[in-house]
Every structure is written in structure tokens, then in C-alpha cells.
């Protein structure tokens, strides 16, 4: 760290209680009060260097003892002691940590070249320009010393802008770390895993400056620094990464503060070393951090944004801040994890365990990122839907995420049916390759709400399509007593149709293989061996057909058990409403045609 040594005399001041006394042997003729400390000094050394003190004492009698109060001097008693030593020619050291306060005090006392050559304004200005601003560490230290009371004067004198510009230049060329005496904080050699799964050292690459600016700069100065860096063309993802780092180090409730730990106290958070974070301070800082985040999409991790949103709810941040976070999360919801999406309900009159309303608003923002034409999935094949390059891939991931979310929150007894349905209905039906996830969520909800009526359960099952259930899900649904009977019948019907199709395909394959095998036996030598292999393949196919037929028969028996033989027609009339108009089935397709086919199948089973 750079250092400027001034003066040659040994120490002449000593402290007695709260009073500084000069030991030169001459009787003091000036008494200056600075806050709680008193200085007994002499006029000549002071007035020869300070225009302010000269004007203050010029009208007083030469024989009278002069009293003055300098409570507003920048830096307080400590800085004034350095000024007094300078005026007396006593040795002092000007460093990056005290040069800002000395420069501001010199301006306050008007210590210009009009009151002696090499006065304090000139010396501190030269040290700032030649030594401090050319060095990364000294620039950081100088900005760190700018306390709240000192900051306005430092801004007015251009000290902050010079140091910030110097840091911004160095950060914009951050790849060459050896040029600027980096970093201040001890390098962290441990390997850490970032949000995107990439393992890296904390001081590697161009991110070496993150820790310094996050550890030593108060937010007003840090904001100036980030704005200057951004104006120099640094990429938005680098800006977002730095803001993320700053938030994690300076927002204790985010769980990654420099002091560690977390708290949910309504008053504030104390992390030792007399460091106290009130909720008001944290709320204000969080709102400013959110405002500082770049507006570009996908430059900050979704997990970090969700953690910010959760913290903003704990701190009861403004609606504008929460809305901004929900919008940022919404446009990149496909990158979210289920655990991060489970945001506890922090409302004063919270009914549900998790904040369903916030997730619904986030999902609304995600859906708005797709225009109406991009949501026309009727001509999209399933293979295209699952392709990594297809734009619907993000929508498919979100559908799976919301299905998992509904399964997690569905066990909450206080979750209303309409709210569950509203969230599930936001996902277009054809986006899901399979409906196992939404079926699981529906089953969990019905199990946690046994008081639902048959009509409410049927209405809830409209969220899923029975034709898109896997074999395992169909097997479970066929034996699930919690589901409406209408839905169980539909599951059995569609699965039977699927089995019939599979059997037909296997039979056709068997016939085709027989023809191919016969042709090859006539053309190839050693045909007996090939014929034997073909027979083995046919045998395996026949076994598979037999298994499918057994499974089909079993499902027919399950379907038959659902109705009484003597009341077959009345039962189905009641279930499917055969005498009424055609209605849409809860599980997809037109209900009347599918239900009549199911009725015919049962009759075939009986015959």
C-alpha cells in the first residue's frame, strides 16, 4: 500500500482525558473543540496554513484566548489531529485509508497554496492522482474510507469518480490480473460449484475483482462502480454475476453473507462483531440490488432470482420489487428447480403453506413469452416436441416442473380446488408427452381432500388425458378407489384399445417374419439354421402375444367387476348419461362414442 511521509519533528501532542495538549513549552492561545475532544494549540502554525482559521480568528484580540468549535470538520477528531501535526511539522503518514478524509478536511479548512507552498490540498491531491488511483488496492481502500458523512464532500471533490473510473478500467481488462496489484482479499484456492454446475476457483478468470468490490464497497459506491463498468461495454452476464456476488455477501437473510447464518427475526439480524442489520436496511439494499440487475434475459441464475424473491417476501419488500423479480423469473422458468420454486407463504393472513399466487404469476409471465402462434401444438409430433432444438422444449420442461410443484403443494389441506385447477390449467394439454405427472398430482390432492364430491373429482380429472398415461400409471389408476368411476372406466377402455393395437401389430410382424424367413430359406445355403432362428423369434412373439392377451383378459375382468350383471344397462346409463347429449370426457375425447365402445366390450366379455 502506498504511503506519503510528511514532516520531520517528533510527536508534540499528548492526550489527557479528552484534551490534547501541545508540549512545546509555549502557552497555548487557541482552544478548538472537535466533537468530544479539545485541542490546546497555538495560532501561528494554524493560521499560516489555514484560510478558514485565519478568517475565524482575525478579528479577535491578539492577547485574548481564542475558542472555536469545528464539529463539522470531515473526519472528526482523528483527522484534525493529523492536520494539527502537519501544521506543526510533526511526522505523519498519508495512506490510502486516510487520504480522503485529509483531502476533505484540507478543503474545509482552506489549506491551499495561498497559505504556504506544498500545503495539504496540493499534497493530498498529488498523492491521490499519482499513487492511489493508479493502484487497484489503494483505490479500493480509499473508497472504503468514504463514510456516509464523508461521501458527499468526496463526491463534490471528484475523489469518488476518479477512484471508481480507475477501478472500472481495471475491471474491464480483468483478464490480465498482474497489472493492477490484485486482489486485496486473500485468494481462495478452494474449488466451488457455480449455479450452472461449472466448477471454478473463486479468483480465476475475469471474476477476480468480484470479492474485493463486494467486501469493501458500500452500496452507493458499488452502484457507481457497476454503472461505470457497464458503460465501458462489459457483458451483462458479468455484471449480473458481480451483483449476485455482492447480494450474497451483503444480504444476511439470503443465507450467504460474509458473516454467515440466517435469521427470521422481525427486528433485524446480528452477526457478531457489533454488526447489526435491521430489516429496514436489508429491505432497502435488496430493492436497490434488484433495480441494479441487468434487464437482459437469462443473465442471472433462476435459482438466485428465486432466492431473492423469497427474501423479498420475508422482508416485505415493495410490490414493484417483487413484480420485477417475478417477471425476470418468468422468462426463464424452464431453468428453475422444484425445490427453489417452493416459496413459503409469508403473507400476514397466509392460509396455504406455499405461495401459490406468486408461482401462478410467474407461470403467467412465462406463458406470455410465447406468442399465440408458438402455442399451436396440434401439428407438432412428439419426437419434435422432445427435440433439444425445438422451442417447445422449454415449455415441456415447465410442464414437468409445474406437475411436480402441484404434487408437492397438493397435500396442503388448505389449498382450494379452484386454485389447484387454475395453476394446472395454465399448461396446454398437448405440451405434456405423458400425463403421469399431472395424474400423480391429482391423486395426491384427492387423497389430502377426501371430502371432495364425485362431481368435484371428475372436474379435477379434466386436467389429465387418460390416453397419455403410461402402463404403470394406468395400472395404478385402474385400482385407485379415490378416482371417479367414470375416470376408471375410461382408463380401462383406453388401455384395452392400446393392448388390442399392440396385439395386432405383433401378429402382423409375425406374418411378415414368416414370409421373409421362407424366402431366405430358398436362397441361402444352410437354410435350416436360419429357419431355426426364425422359429425361435416367432416363438418369442407368440409368448408376448399370449402375455398381452392375458393382461387384456385381466383388465376386462376388472372392468366387468365395476358393474352388476343384472343392472348393466342402467349402470352405464347413469355413468355415461347415454340418454343425454354428447359430452366431453374427463380424460380426453368425446365421451359418448368411447363410453358406448366400453359398453360393447363388456358385453363381449360377458358373451
Nearest Cα to Cα of residue 95 among 131, 119, 136, 122 = 131
How far apart (Å, rounded) are the C-alpha atoms in residues 100 and 102?
5
Does residue 390 form part of some domain?
Answer: no
How far apart (Å, rounded) are the C-alpha atoms in residues 181 and 139?
11
Choose the final residue of a domain: 100, 132, 164: 132
Note the pTM of the prediction, 2 decimals: 0.75
Compute CA distances 555 → 23, 30, 478, 504, whole Å: 107, 107, 9, 18
Cα Rg of the chain (Å, integer): 39
Does residue 325 form part of some domain?
Answer: no
Around Cβ 180, how many Cβ atoms within 10 Å?
Answer: 21
Does residue 322 form part of some domain?
Answer: no
Q: Which domain holds residue 602?
A: 465-606
The domain total for the chain is 2
Contact 291, 243 (CB under 8 A): no
Q: For position 127, which CATH number holds?
A: 3.30.710.10
Contact 530, 517 (CB under 8 A): yes
Start-end of H helices in 49-150: 51-57, 76-88, 99-108, 120-127, 136-144
How far apart (Å, rounded) are the C-alpha atoms in residues 15 and 522?
117
Contact 68, 56 (CB under 8 A): yes
230-276 tens-digit pLDDT: 999 999 999 999 999 999 999 988 864 443 334 444 445 544 444 45
Nearest Cα to Cα of residue 84 among 37, 152, 145, 144 = 37
Does residue 111 form part of some domain?
Answer: yes
Choose the final residue of a domain: 132, 157, 177: 132
Nearest Cα to Cα of residue 465 among 456, 457, 474 = 474
Does residue 196 form part of some domain?
Answer: no
Nearest Cα to Cα of residue 420 among 462, 482, 468 = 462
Does residue 420 form part of some domain?
Answer: no
Beta strands in 427-574 (DSSP E): none
14-55 tens-digit pLDDT: 888 899 998 877 888 899 999 999 999 998 999 999 999 998
Does residue 429 form part of some domain?
Answer: no
490-540 tens-digit pLDDT: 888 877 777 666 666 666 665 565 555 555 554 544 545 545 555 565 566
Nearest Cα to Cα of residue 104 among 146, 164, 165 = 146
Q: What is the mean pLDDT of each run of 10 residues along the chain (607 residues)?
A: 89 89 85 93 92 84 72 94 95 95 96 93 96 94 89 94 94 63 49 43 65 93 95 93 95 62 45 61 95 94 96 94 96 93 82 93 90 49 47 87 96 94 91 91 94 92 88 86 86 75 64 55 49 56 63 63 48 44 46 48 46
Choose the final residue of a domain: 84, 105, 132: 132
The pairing of strands 199-201 and 3-6 is: unpaired
Does residue 505 form part of some domain?
Answer: yes
Amino acid at each position: 500500500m502506498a504511503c506519503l511521509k510528511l514532516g520531520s519533528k517528533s510527536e508534540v501532542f499528548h492526550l489527557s482525558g479528552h484534551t490534547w495538549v501541545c508540549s512545546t513549552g509555549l502557552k497555548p492561545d487557541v482552544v478548538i473543540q472537535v466533537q468530544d475532544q479539545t485541542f490546546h494549540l497555538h495560532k501561528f502554525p494554524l493560521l499560516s496554513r489555514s484560510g478558514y482559521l485565519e478568517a475565524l480568528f482575525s478579528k479577535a484580540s491578539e492577547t485574548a484566548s481564542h475558542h472555536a468549535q469545528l464539529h463539522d470538520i470531515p473526519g472528526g477528531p482523528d483527522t484534525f489531529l493529523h492536520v494539527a501535526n502537519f501544521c506543526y511539522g510533526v511526522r505523519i503518514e498519508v495512506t490510502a485509508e486516510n487520504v480522503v478524509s485529509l483531502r476533505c478536511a484540507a478543503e474545509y479548512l482552506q489549506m491551499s497554496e495561498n497559505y504556504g507552498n506544498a500545503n495539504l490540498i496540493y499534497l493530498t491531491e498529488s498523492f491521490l492522482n499519482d499513487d492511489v488511483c493508479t493502484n487497484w488496492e489503494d483505490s479500493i481502500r480509499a473508497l472504503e474510507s468514504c463514510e456516509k458523512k464523508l461521501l458527499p464532500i468526496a463526491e463534490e471533490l471528484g475523489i469518488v469518480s476518479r477512484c471508481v473510473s480507475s477501478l472500472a478500467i481495471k475491471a474491464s481488462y480483468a483478464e490480465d490480473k498482474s497489472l493492477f496489484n490484485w486482489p486485496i482479499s486473500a485468494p481462495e484456492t478452494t474449488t466451488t460449484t457455480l449455479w450452472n454446475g461449472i466448477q471454478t476457483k473463486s479468483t480465476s478468470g475475469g471474476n477476480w475483482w468480484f470479492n474485493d468490490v463486494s467486501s469493501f464497497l458500500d452500496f452507493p459506491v458499488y452502484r457507481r462502480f457497476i454503472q461505470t463498468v457497464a458503460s465501458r461495454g462489459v457483458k451483462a452476464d458479468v455484471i449480473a454475476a458481480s451483483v449476485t456476488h455482492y447480494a450474497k455477501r451483503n444480504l444476511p437473510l439470503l443465507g450467504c453473507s460474509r458473516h454467515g447464518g440466517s435469521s427470521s427475526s422481525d427486528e433485524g439480524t446480528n452477526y457478531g462483531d457489533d454488526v447489526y442489520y435491521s430489516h429496514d436496511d436489508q429491505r432497502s439494499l435488496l430493492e436497490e440490488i434488484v433495480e441494479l440487475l441487468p434487464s437482459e434475459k437469462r443473465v442471472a441464475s433462476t435459482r438466485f432470482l428465486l432466492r431473492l424473491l423469497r427474501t423479498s417476501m420475508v422482508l416485505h419488500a415493495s410490490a414493484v420489487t417483487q413484480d420485477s423479480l417475478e417477471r425476470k423469473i418468468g422468462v426463464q422458468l424452464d431453468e428453475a428447480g422444484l425445490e427453489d420454486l417452493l416459496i413459503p407463504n409469508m403473507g400476514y393472513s397466509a392460509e396455504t403453506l406455499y405461495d401459490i399466487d406468486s408461482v401462478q404469476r410467474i407461470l403467467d409471465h412465462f406463458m406470455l413469452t410465447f406468442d399465440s402462434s408458438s402455442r399451436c401444438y396440434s401439428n407438432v409430433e412428439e419426437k419434435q416436441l422432445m427435440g433439444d432444438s425445438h422451442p417447445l422444449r422449454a415449455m415441456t420442461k415447465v410442464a414437468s416442473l409445474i406437475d411436480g410443484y402441484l404434487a408437492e403443494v397438493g397435500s396442503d389441506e388448505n389449498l382450494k380446488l379452484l386454485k389447484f385447477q387454475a395453476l394446472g390449467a395454465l399448461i396446454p394439454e398437448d405440451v405434456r408427452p405423458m400425463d403421469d405427472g399431472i395424474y400423480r398430482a391429482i391423486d395426491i390432492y384427492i387423497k389430502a381432500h377426501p371430502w371432495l364430491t364425485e362431481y368435484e373429482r371428475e372436474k379435477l380429472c379434466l386436467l389429465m388425458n387418460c390416453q397419455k398415461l403410461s402402463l404403470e400409471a394406468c395400472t395404478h389408476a385402474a385400482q385407485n378407489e379415490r378416482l371417479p368411476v367414470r375416470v376408471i372406466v375410461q382408463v380401462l377402455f383406453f388401455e384395452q384399445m392400446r393392448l388390442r393395437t399392440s396385439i395386432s401389430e405383433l401378429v402382423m410382424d409375425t406374418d411378415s417374419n414368416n414370409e421373409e424367413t421362407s424366402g431366405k430359406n430358398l436362397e441361402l445355403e444352410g437354410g435350416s439354421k436360419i429357419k431355426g432362428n426364425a422359429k425361435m423369434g416367432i416363438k418369442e412373439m407368440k409368448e408376448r402375444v399370449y402375455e398381452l392377451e392375458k393382461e387384456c383378459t385381466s383388465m376386462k375382468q376388472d372392468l366387468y367387476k365395476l358393474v352388476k350383471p343384472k343392472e348393466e344397462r342402467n349402470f352405464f346409463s347413469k355413468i355415461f348419461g347415454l340418454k343425454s347429449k354428447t359430452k366431453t370426457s374427463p380424460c380426453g375425447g368425446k365421451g359418448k362414442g368411447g363410453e358406448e365402445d366400453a359398453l360393447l366390450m363388456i358385453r363381449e366379455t360377458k358373451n
